[in-house]
Amino acid sequence: MAHDSQSSENCIQEIARVSLNDTYNQKGSAHEKMLQKLIQTDAFFKHQQIGEPDLCEEEKYKIADEILSKNKTKFLERYWKYLGIEDVVCFENCSSEYEIDFYLKQIKKSKTTNFDKNRTKNRRLKAMQQLISEGDYFSEEEMKYRDPFLYEQLVGQYLDDDEINDKVDKTDLRFSTVLFKHIDILHEHEAYKDQKDTEDGQMEEGESSEDEESEMEDEMDDQKQLIPDEQKAQFRQEFLTIMQERFMSGQDEHFNYSEVDDNIEYDDLDILQKVEEEKYFDADAGDERNLDNDKLNDIDVENDNMDCSIHNQQCVKDSGKLQQYDKTINHVNSVSLTLSEKSDIGGIKDQSCEKS
């Protein structure tokens, strides 16, 4: 029996040891996978001199592993945006620290649907603002090239001859420039007709491209209308707004969204961190305000108790004064009564003397 008991105990210890090793190996595996994934990104590892060869994967791994071992907060601060939810397990034993908990929450949020949608919108907005500042992609000519039909509907049909001539670039009249410009015009005409046919819901067949182009130009000339400049400006703004909304919604067929939607360089991390920190400190401030209110309530109770005590003491003093006052009145009354009695006795004596 003793032998069986010893064997059972040994089995339990062995199972516990294996379980502990498995847990360690899982964390070690997660740790290694996280670093292996990290070194495949464009993350920063160390400053290098001009002409110095790029770091190899082994060097990147060693640097990241050293930072992780010495300072987990610094590691997360630098690399959290490259990590996934599966990497959170590597920091479970220190998630109670505020800075680490903050970055772990950022990692989890970055993988949620709503956060991902908002992040995509923010990245596209920042990219659009950059394109607007550069002045090419959202210029009137470039937008016209991307959607000639919409441009003609909102802008082109209202241009007079002078405005059309002003748009012709006369500074570069090289043959190659003129040729490419002509190709662009043909593209615009073809795109215009395709869009118009789609809009009208019918396709015309059997006509030559020259007839189609001539028909389209005649149609454009017939549609020209004269409207006030203020209304022209409104239509131009509407055209710009539609093109920008199309860009933001991901429907701009001429733009490669993968360069923006998956690019962390368009993330405004300072704003995200500031918002989260403000939420954290607001919560702390709320707790402090509640604590202050509790203290004030305690002080009020103490003051009330003190007032009651003072009031009771004053009542006792007043009661003593009343008792002393009653004694004084009683004494005065007794003295007055004695004097009155003496006065009456004196009167009786006087009457007796007179009778005598």
| Domain residue limits, the chain | 2-111, 129-267
pLDDT of residue 289: 54
Q: Mention every residue, 6+ apart, whose C-beta is less than 8 A from residue 177.
A: 169
pLDDT of residue 187: 59
Report CA Rg, the chain.
Answer: 47
- 232 burial (CB, 10 Å; 0-12 / 13-18 / 19+) is middle
Say how far apart CA 325 and CA 75 lie, in whole Å: 84
Looking up tokens 């190709």 gives 183
Tens-binned pLDDT, residue by residue, of the chain (356 aa)? 544 555 555 554 454 443 434 433 444 588 898 999 899 888 899 888 888 888 999 999 999 999 999 999 999 999 988 888 888 889 988 878 899 999 998 888 877 766 778 888 999 999 999 999 998 899 988 898 888 888 888 988 888 877 766 665 555 545 455 455 545 556 556 665 666 666 666 555 545 455 555 555 555 555 556 788 899 899 999 999 999 999 999 999 889 998 898 888 888 655 555 555 555 556 555 555 555 555 555 545 455 555 545 444 554 444 454 455 455 445 544 544 444 444 444 444 444 444 43
pLDDT of residue 273: 55
Among 43, 28, 40, 35, CA closest to 89: 28
How many CB atoms are closer than 10 A to CB 157? 17
Among 78, 118, 92, 102, CA closest to 31: 92
Say how far apart CA 208 and CA 205 lie, in whole Å: 9
